[in-house]
């Protein structure tokens, strides 16, 4: 027995395209079920706050701004992107988008208020 059982595979790889993606320049398709940044539809919200109760990281706060009008404060830095709130919402006022490039240098920009 001689060492180098993988040598053939290694040499073949010299003539193959890289397995990696050139990420920031080439974007790959995300799966349909992907859970990214939350989106909020204020016209559907009834202010039951079940999303706030079920959120494992207290990342969503529903504020009442006027009679039967609500806004959502979403903390992108606290959110664990489990999308439990989307499932818990009885009126489908929340949705998980495919947006995931949320890194930021300031904490203020991670506090999103959707009216």
Residues near other proteins (CB under 8 A): 1-6, 9-10, 19, 30-35, 53-57, 80-84, 87
Distance CA 86, CA 68 (A): 20
Q: How far is the CB of 66 from other proteins (least distance, A)?
A: 30
CB of 72 to other proteins, least distance (A): 19
In sequence order, which residues have a C-beta less than 8 Å from that of residue 114 and are 6 or more positions away?
39, 40, 42, 71, 72, 74
**Residue 35 contacts by C-beta under 8 Å, 6 or more apart in sequence?**
81, 82, 83, 86, 96
Residue with Cβ nearer other proteins (19 or 103): 19
Least distance in Å: CB of 67 to other proteins?
29
If the CB atoms of residues 21 and 64 are measured against other proteins, the closer one turns out to be 21
Pick between residue 12 and residue 105 the one whose CB is nearest to other proteins: 12
Q: How far apart are CA 91 and CA 88, in angstroms?
A: 9
């Amino acid at each position: 027995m001689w060492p180098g059982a993988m040598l053939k595979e290694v040499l073949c790889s010299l003539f193959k395209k890289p397995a990696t993606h050139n990420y920031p320049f080439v974007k790959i398709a995300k799966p349909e079920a992907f859970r990214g940044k939350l989106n909020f539809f204020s016209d559907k919200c009834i202010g039951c706050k079940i999303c706030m109760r079920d959120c494992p990281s207290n990342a969503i706060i529903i504020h009442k701004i006027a009679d039967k009008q609500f806004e959502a404060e979403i903390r992108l830095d606290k959110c664990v992107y489990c999308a439990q709130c989307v499932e818990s919402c009885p009126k489908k006022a929340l949705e998980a988008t495919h947006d995931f490039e949320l890194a930021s240098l300031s904490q203020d920009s991670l506090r999103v208020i959707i009216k």
